[in-house]
Structure 1
Amino acid sequence: MQHAPGGSFPSVPSAPAITSKPQSKPPASLPADPPLTTLESEIREHESRNLLALAAHQVILRVGWIFKVESVIIPTFVDAIAGPAWVRGWLPFLNRTGQTAAPFIYSHMLSSARLKSRSLIVSSMLLSAPFFLLAGTWAALGESRPFWLVPFFLVLYLVFFAAVGVNQMSFGAVQGKLIRPQRRGRLMSISGLVGSVAAITAAAIWLRPWLELPDHGFLYIFTTAASVFLAAGLMACFVYEPFGAVQEPRLWRPFRDAWDVVAHDASFRKMAIVAMMFSMAHLAFPHYQALAKGELGRSSYDLFVWIVAQNIGAGLFSALSGMLADRLGNRFALRVLGFMAAGIPLLALGLSQLPPEEGREYYWLVFLLLGLAPVIFRTQSNYVLELAPQEEHPRYLSTLNVCQSAPFLLSVPLGMAIDGFGYRVVFSLIALSGLTAGLLTFWMDEPRHHSVVVEELPPDAP
């Protein structure tokens, strides 16, 4: 099968789209692997180096991330400058809007880039800018809390996650080009376990004493996060990436490109539905610490314990998902992770009904399971990378981002629903969506058991 240069769909009466369809059964014998091209041989020669460099990059990012954990640090900061649940409800919406819009616009440029690691380097460094600005503003204000601080923070939050979206898409594209599918789980396991140990160590040394300060040490926390993100960009410079083939210019048509993927790849459509159901469970992230604060009480030490528990969970579940994905495929890994995630809101509700001292003692289990969230998103991306040829990875990843983000339109109404109806009703519905996502994985295709075939796209619009 031949692909158009650059992985684009040329403006001709019809063009091939890549999709996956199941075979009735595996072939009796597999043909010999085709000989490697010069570019593939060069990539294979440096694969071990690149696996370690990318793992180190992810480890450093994990250390930076612990200083701005979405389930603890950021909601605590919002509570300090605002308060109501509907304000926290903006966080998931802005999070996913930034992660969706920026990659959606940028994906066509990344697809045609001959060196995709440059995008990884620049986007990693850009993660630091919003937090340097936030730290400087917080230091300048002192005890003052002007009315514009909340919208200013929300804008910076949106900009940060726009950079996150580009960074994650760039990492996926680099990984898809330089690391074979059977070793991507190993990359996830290494970066997850080592990253968790490094992040927890950093939290124990710096984060715990800062959280005990009267203002929770936000100046030190945000400055450190920004500095570490800058270091992650420098680490990405050690990735060895040979120049790709010269790409033909392609039209900038992100909506049409995304629609082509959804309309003509049945395997992707199934993944998209499952991803949207998983995203519903992510909407509750900013509210778990607020539930504990209101029902059980909360101290600065509790915040520290929850952050550590979440990072331990992320490391353990990264190792579990990586092992399952390499051996049994990403579909099976998503199924296991999905059923585990469905129990998080129910566990939080149950613990919140215990006597305060007892509930606080075990509430860290909620945050341990919240470590599933980044692993699930990463596993979804790895699944999608196996559906498409390398030159189409940015387009598939950006389209997946759109599908993952659609439920986040409900994040602000969900915060208002918590204010109006309480946590029990809302968290029960979120648990149901997680259970549904796990069940739907039985309907998904496993790319490693499928052949790649060609379908015809409709004619391009003039």
Structure 2
Amino acid sequence: MSANPLSSTAKEPDGRQAPQSEVNAAAGIQFEEGVSRNFALLTIYQIVLRCGWIFKTESIIIPAVLDLIAGSGWVRGFLPILGRIGQSCPPLLYADRLRSLPLKKWSLFGTSLAMSVAFAGLAAMFIPGVDAAIGQSAMVVGFLGFYFLFFCATGLNQLGFGTAQGKLVPPHLRGRLMLASNVIGAVIAISLAAWLLPKWLEGNTIQVNWIFGFAASAFVLSALSIVGLKENRDQLDRKTFSAKHLLLESFLVVRDDLRFRWVCLIAAAFGFSLMLFPHYQALARERLDVSLSRMIFWVIIQNAGTAIFSLLGGPLADWKGNRLVLRTMLFGVMILPLGSIALVHSGDVGLHLFDWLFLFVGVTPITFRAFTNYTLELVPAERHPRYLATQSLCIAIPMVLSPFVGLMIDLTSFEVVFSGIAVILFVGWAMTWFLVEPRHDPGHHVLYGEMDVDPDDELEPL
């Protein structure tokens, strides 16, 4: 391999000329000794992170714990909106600062530690004796507060990982990175869950402090794993910070980039599906009368689903591109609402098959990664932070309705709400047929009104 393979005549592995956006995106990658090391360390980072993540699964463990201290659908409905606001608004404000940060790995390191601190706080609340001294109302407020802080750190972390990946990993290896980290990570995480969760979760008794404490420890280890990343220092000018300017920049990105606008509309439709995740476990426990210990099996199945769909999504992304991966994974997400309703009305068959529905919940991390990787290929590297943050915000916008969705479940039924969101997901899935494939349609220009403008040009100051 050439020491400097990034040029205007760079080729894809199959011999086709690489899109210019990909050539720009890969600029500065250390292909010789750096890329293998960075690939390995980023894989290890994600594996260790997943080992902590399985003990805080927000579709199963988190809402079940909140139900124990609150027990209302509308309170449970705050989980998606807090999670999405945390994952979307802070990255939007942080994107340009991350862009000018010389070494992106330190952002990844710091945000991983912040995730650990938030979960350590949650674990401390459930230490026997502490929970009784705090009181129920304070427990609910504290739980939601630490949960929100965790997802603020998670949003910054995901932005940092996407930006670091765009800088350090060439496009044709990103699918392999997703495959390796998710499959190996799922196997190790599932093994840990199968070993440890039965010790801390039996019948309807759950030792939350141990479960959340383990997650906090894993996040610390994940932070330490990326210190050794080999990264060239970026030399980019720091922009003057203005929240209003950043929000308007994101608005202009969506308004003026037609190709990215389709991505944002699909991302918003996907955001509606996330509002239902805390309610799947409640549906099963209320309609099928299952105990908390059933969550062990659900957590294992969900993470197995992530590994299985990674085996499909990773090679498919490297072979055919991320548009097809996005379309395939959104179809899996679309199955969940109607499938869950059908199963709770299927008697004994539904009781036995409902567990396996969580296999499709495992599609979600792959869908997020497909959105990220698609956007990384769509635009030049210097625009990655802004576009990724804008994309995350579009996923979050529907989440403002999340408490209302929980209230509507209390007032109407699971069936009414789940069916309505299934229709929205179908519309979002249908929109994927209008997306371009960046590898086949590089589109060096984006349409601004009726004028073609080079996307490398800076937006005019506002």
Cα distance, 1:354 vs. partner? 2.6
1:4 maps to none
Partner of 1:42: helix, strand, or coil? coil
Cα distance, 1:299 vs. partner? 1.8
Letter in 1 for 2:344: S
Cα distance, 1:212 vs. partner? 0.9
Gaps of 5+ in 2: 1-14, 446-451
Distance 1:330 1:37 in 2: 16
Deviations 1:261-299 (A, max 9, x none): 112211110100011111111110000000011110112
Closer/same/farther in 2, CA of residues 135 and 30 from structure 1, 3 Å limit: closer
The two structures have a TM-score, normalised by structure 1, of 0.89
Which of residues 343, 346, 370 is equivalent to 1:351?
343
1:84 maps to 72
Letter in 2 for 1:74: I
Closer/same/farther in 2, CA of residues 146 and 299 from structure 1, 3 Å limit: closer
Gaps of 5+ in 1: 1-27
Partner of 2:103: helix, strand, or coil? coil
Contact preservation (8 Å) 1:86, 1:413: yes
Contact preservation (8 Å) 1:264, 1:455: no
Query: Is 1:303 equivalent to 2:295 in the alignment?
Result: yes
Cα distance, 1:92 vs. partner? 0.3
Contact preservation (8 Å) 1:297, 1:360: no
Which of residues 194, 202, 206 is equivalent to 1:204?
194
Alignment of 1:208-357 (within 5 A): 208-212=198-202, 215-244=205-234, 246-252=235-241, 253-355=245-347, 357=348
Letter in 2 for 1:298: V
2:93 maps to 105
- Greater mean alpha carbon deviation, residues 445-454 or residues 70-79: 445-454
Distance 1:135 1:352 in 2: 33
The two structures have a TM-score, normalised by structure 2, of 0.89
1:181 maps to 171
Partner of 1:152: helix, strand, or coil? helix
Letter in 1 for 2:263: M
Which of residues 147, 150, 167 is equivalent to 1:160?
150
Deviations 1:106-130 (A, max 9, x none): 1110011111111011111110111
Cα distance, 1:259 vs. partner? 1.9
Closer/same/farther in 2, CA of residues 212 and 37 from structure 1, 3 Å limit: closer
Deviations 1:78-110 (A, max 9, x none): 011100100000000000010011111111100
Cα distance, 1:36 vs. partner? 11
Contact preservation (8 Å) 2:186, 2:307: yes
Contact preservation (8 Å) 2:108, 2:161: yes
Closer/same/farther in 2, CA of residues 248 and 353 from structure 1, 3 Å limit: same
Closer/same/farther in 2, CA of residues 389 and 49 from structure 1, 3 Å limit: same
Alignment of 1:300-449 (within 5 A): 300-355=292-347, 357-449=348-440
Which of residues 448, 453, 456 is equivalent to 1:455?
453
Distance 2:71 2:156 in 1: 30
Closer/same/farther in 2, CA of residues 106 and 359 from structure 1, 3 Å limit: same
> How big is the alpha-carbon RMSD for the aligned residues of Structure 1 and Structure 2?
2.4
1:94 maps to 82
Letter in 2 for 1:247: L
Contact preservation (8 Å) 1:50, 1:178: yes
Distance 2:281 2:102 in 1: 44
2:3 maps to none
Letter in 2 for 1:93: I
Closer/same/farther in 2, CA of residues 450 and 35 from structure 1, 3 Å limit: closer
- Greater mean alpha carbon deviation, residues 419-428 or residues 144-153: 144-153
Closer/same/farther in 2, CA of residues 407 and 39 from structure 1, 3 Å limit: closer
Contact preservation (8 Å) 1:277, 1:436: yes
Cα distance, 1:313 vs. partner? 0.4
Distance 1:302 1:37 in 2: 45
Letter in 2 for 1:345: P
Distance 2:388 2:308 in 1: 25
Cα distance, 1:46 vs. partner? 1.2
Aligned residues: 433
Distance 2:366 2:66 in 1: 25
Letter in 1 for 2:239: R
Closer/same/farther in 2, CA of residues 57 and 41 from structure 1, 3 Å limit: closer
Deviations 1:47-74 (A, max 9, x none): 1111111011001111100110011110
Partner of 2:453: helix, strand, or coil? strand
Distance 1:155 1:78 in 2: 12
Distance 1:238 1:418 in 2: 48
Contact preservation (8 Å) 2:29, 2:168: no
- Greater mean alpha carbon deviation, residues 169-178 or residues 46-55: 46-55
Letter in 2 for 1:312: A
Letter in 1 for 2:254: V
Contact preservation (8 Å) 2:81, 2:399: yes
Deviations 1:328-385 (A, max 9, x none): 1111111111112211111111111133x54332111211100011111111011111
Closer/same/farther in 2, CA of residues 31 and 50 from structure 1, 3 Å limit: closer
Partner of 1:450: helix, strand, or coil? coil
Q: Say which structure, 1 or 2, has more relative contact order (CA 8 Å, 6+ apart).
A: 1
Distance 1:300 1:31 in 2: 51
